[in-house]
């Protein structure tokens, strides 16, 4: 028996001190696990000991370990893979929420993906004219929580240009896409629910899911998007409730989903009754430009979809306007969440966005951003001719494969010392650690091509590509 215990002690990846555990033991054990993850003692991707082996090591009942693991799983600290074990979540290895640089030191920011802020000058005159013509008091009330009728009409017009067909009763104006995601998760999901996502997913969605104590199930994919076979397998193995996708230039991988793939995924969504959250913030770069584009997934499963089309990347990032489209089964719960969280979206922001769309200025802004994106893509390719395939010709960012096997935080910090900010693929992992490693390189944040060139030169010099 002694040898049996010794072997487990030797092989365990995590060995909490039994003497430090207090009653109730399962809570104390969960706290110890949380502390060791937070301190970095248990890095992302660490496979935790099987419950019975850890129980044997600690001389406690295995159900105590089960309860401790469950607490941490509900917090998003760890996740289980059927047949493989339990792992430390990648998003817990570091704070993954992405925001613009707030520091004062000179820095070339290739991390945060902005939206060519120099284009904001194109809407200045239209914004001033719109607010001067409008009776401001009509914009300053609680009336029309889902959006003023004329604002919704402009939103429907914008959506039509992207292949989204709906009506004012199934659309609301919310305060940005992140706000829309939060409302959808709050209204339609419960703690412990499972949501299928891409292996590399939008980092702020990972954080939101963690805050709402939702479980993310990573699904592999390829150049066409998420694998239908892998999604089907997980739906058969686990009770998956939802699916989160960014089909028009996935953030961070740039993968743009083919229409064939959309149809295959739509069948699975219908068969398993999944709730689809479709973040289509980059649709303006795809609709009418890429020949394969036939419209969003929403058109295939409208009653099972919450479709979000933000204007922060297409028109202006500082005006927080996103059009949220939803099926009738979700209407009541979503509007209840909107009323209780937002009360209403700023009518001032919506007035400006509506005026920009009505005047045609929005199309001018979009065309300029497409041109800038294409030029910066070409610039990136000059510095990194072998920098991996880009899944979208107008992407605002690139997904650069690297050979460096160090922890993402360490690589990011080293590049910061050389004056550039980038984001490592660790930030975007929705689940188990992957052998391949990447850097997401923002092309749209710095003001000039000269600044981008300096940043890319530093990156080429110091990154192990």
What number of residues does the chain have?
Answer: 465
- At residue 48, the pLDDT reads 93
- At residue 91, the pLDDT reads 60
- At residue 99, the pLDDT reads 58
Residue 206 clears pLDDT 80, i.e. is over it? yes
- At residue 90, the pLDDT reads 67
> Which of 83-87, 150-154, 327-331 bottoms out in mean pLDDT, i.e. has the lowest?
83-87
Total Cβ atoms within 10 A of residue 232: 17
Q: How confident is the model at residue 375 (pLDDT cuts 50, 70, 90)?
A: very high
β-pairing, 85-88 vs 78-81, is antiparallel
Task: Write b or e for each residue in 328-361: b if 16 or more Cβ atoms lie within 10 A of its Cβ, otherwise e.
Answer: eebeeebbebbeeebebbbbbbbbbbbbbbbeeb
- At residue 98, the pLDDT reads 57
Average pLDDT over all residues of the chain? 92
d(CA 94, CA 81): 21
Greater confidence, 98 or 432?
432
Domains with residue ranges and CATH for the chain: 18-88 (1.10.10.10), 108-119+363-460 (3.90.1150.10), 123-359 (3.40.640.10)
Burial class (CB in 10 A: 0-12, 13-18, 19+), 6: exposed
Residue 105 clears pLDDT 80, i.e. is over it? no
Greater confidence, 2 or 274?
274
Residue 130 clears pLDDT 50, i.e. is over it? yes
Mean pLDDT along residues 364-390: 95
- At residue 431, the pLDDT reads 85
Mean pLDDT along residues 108-117: 96
The percentage of the chain sitting over the pLDDT mark of 90, rounded to a whole number, equals: 80
Using alpha carbons, select from 208, 204, 280, 277 the residue that is nearest to residue 244.
277
C-alpha distances out from residue 248 to 68, 378, 393, Å: 39, 20, 11
The percentage of the chain sitting over the pLDDT mark of 70, rounded to a whole number, equals: 94
- At residue 229, the pLDDT reads 98
pLDDT 10s digits, 263-278: 999 999 999 999 999 9
**Of 43-52, 213-222, 261-270, which one has max mean pLDDT?**
261-270
pLDDT 10s digits, 352-361: 999 999 999 9
- At residue 175, the pLDDT reads 97
Mean pLDDT along residues 280-299: 95
Q: Do 298 and 325 contact (CB within 8 A), yes or no?
A: yes
Q: How confident is the model at residue 138 (pLDDT cuts 50, 70, 90)?
A: confident
- At residue 10, the pLDDT reads 46
Residues 6+ apart with CB under 8 A from 137: none
Total Cβ atoms within 10 A of residue 63: 11
- At residue 356, the pLDDT reads 97
- At residue 5, the pLDDT reads 44
């Amino acid at each position: 028996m002694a040898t049996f215990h010794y072997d487990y002690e030797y092989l365990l990846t995590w060995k909490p001190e039994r003497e430090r555990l207090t009653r109730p033991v399962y809570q104390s054990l969960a706290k110890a696990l949380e502390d060791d993850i937070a301190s970095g003692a248990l890095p992302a991707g660490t496979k935790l000991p099987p419950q019975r082996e850890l129980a044997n090591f600690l001389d406690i009942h295995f159900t105590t370990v089960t309860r401790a693991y469950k607490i941490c799983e509900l917090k998003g600290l760890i996740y289980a893979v059927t047949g493989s074990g339990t792992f430390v979540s990648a998003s817990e290895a570091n704070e993954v929420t992405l925001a613009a640089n707030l520091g004062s030191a000179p820095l070339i920011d290739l991390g945060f993906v902005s939206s060519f802020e120099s284009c904001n000058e194109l809407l200045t005159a239209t914004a001033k004219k719109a607010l001067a013509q409008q009776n401001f008091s009509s914009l300053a009330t609680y009336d029309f929580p889902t959006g003023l009728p004329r604002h919704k009409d402009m939103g429907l017009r914008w959506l039509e240009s992207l292949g989204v067909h709906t009506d004012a009763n199934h659309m609301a104006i919310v305060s940005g896409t992140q706000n829309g995601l939060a409302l959808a998760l709050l209204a339609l999901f419960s703690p412990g629910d499972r949501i299928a996502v891409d292996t590399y997913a939008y980092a702020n969605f990972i954080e939101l899911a963690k805050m709402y104590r939702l479980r993310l199930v990573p699904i592999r994919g390829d150049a066409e998007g998420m694998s239908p076979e892998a999604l089907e397998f997980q739906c058969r193995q686990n009770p998956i409730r939802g699916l989160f996708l960014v089909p028009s230039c996935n953030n961070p991988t740039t993968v743009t989903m083919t229409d064939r793939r959309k149809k295959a995924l739509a069948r699975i969504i219908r068969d398993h009754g999944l709730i689809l959250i479709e973040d289509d913030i980059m649709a303006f770069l795809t609709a009418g430009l890429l020949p394969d584009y036939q419209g969003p997934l929403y058109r295939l499963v409208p009653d099972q979809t919450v479709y979000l089309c933000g204007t922060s990347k297409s028109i202006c990032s500082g005006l927080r306007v996103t059009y949220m489209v939803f099926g009738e089964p979700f209407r009541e719960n979503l509007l209840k969440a909107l009323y209780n969280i937002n009360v209403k979206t700023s009518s001032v922001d919506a007035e400006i966005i509506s005026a920009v769309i009505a005047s045609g200025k929005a199309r001018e802004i979009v065309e300029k951003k497409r041109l800038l994106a294409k030029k910066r893509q070409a610039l990136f390719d000059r510095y990194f001719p072998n920098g991996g395939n880009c899944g979208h010709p107008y992407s605002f960012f690139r997904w650069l494969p690297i050979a460096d096997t160090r922890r993402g935080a360490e690589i990011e910090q080293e590049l910061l010392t050389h004056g550039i900010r980038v984001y490592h693929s660790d930030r975007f992992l929705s689940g188990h650690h992957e052998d391949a490693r990447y850097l997401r390189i923002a092309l749209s944040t710095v003001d000039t091509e000269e600044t981008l060139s300096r940043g890319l030169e530093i990156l080429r010099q110091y990154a192990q590509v």
